[in-house]
Amino acid sequence: KQEVTQIPAALSVPEGENLVLNCSFTDSAIYNLQWFRQDPGKGLTSLLLIQSSQREQTSGRLNASLDKSSGRSTLYIAASQPGDSATYLCAGVKETSGSRLTFGEGTQLTVNP
C-alpha cells in the first residue's frame, strides 16, 4: 500500500528565509507527484506536477524535485513571504492504482513578518 509521509508536520520561519518541505513515499512505482497548497478551510491549489521522468519543476519561487530511487520529493520555497503561510500537501499517483492521488498529511507553514 502506498504511503506518503511529510516532514515536518509544522514549520515556522521568519520572512525572507528559504525553506524546504519534505515528502517521502514508500513505493517508488509512481507516475507522478503533485504539490498542493491548502489555505484554512479552503480547497487545494495545484502548485507543481513532477512526472516520473523528470527530476524537478520550477514555478516562480517554488522548485520541486523528485527522486524515485530514494522515494523522496522536496518543495523548495525561496525568499518566503507571509502570504506563503498555508498547509502544503504532496500527493502521488501510483503506477498500479489507477489515477487516484495518495496524499501526505501536509506541512503547516507559517511565515512570520
Partner 1 sequence: EPEVTQTPSHQVTQMGQEVILRCVPISNHLYFYWYRQILGQKVEFLVSFYNNEISEKSEIFDDQFSVERPDGSNFTLKIRSTKLEDSAMYFCASRKAGYMNTEAFFGQGTRLTVV
Q: Does 57 sit near partner 1 (CB under 8 A)?
A: no
Q: Does 96 sit near partner 1 (CB under 8 A)?
A: no
| Closest CA relative to residue 46, chosen from 101, 8, 83, 9 | 101
49: Cβ contacts below 8 Å, ≥ 6 apart: 32, 33, 34, 57
Quick one: CA dihedral 52, 55, 59, 61, positive or negative?
A: positive
Binding residue for partner 1, selected from 40, 43, 60, 83, defined by CB under 8 A? 43
State the nearest-atom distance from the C-beta of 18 to partner 1, in Å.
25
d(CA 110, CA 77): 12
State the nearest-atom distance from the C-beta of 82 to partner 1, in Å.
22
* Nearer to partner 1 (CB atom), residue 42 or residue 61: 42
Options 7-15, 20-28, 77-85, 89-97: segment touching partner 1 (CB under 8 A): 89-97
Q: Does 62 sit near partner 1 (CB under 8 A)?
A: no
d(CA 17, CA 81): 8
Joined together, the cell numbers standing for residue 22 give: 519534505
Interface with partner 1 (CB under 8 A): 31-32, 34, 36, 41-46, 49, 51-52, 89, 91, 93, 97-106
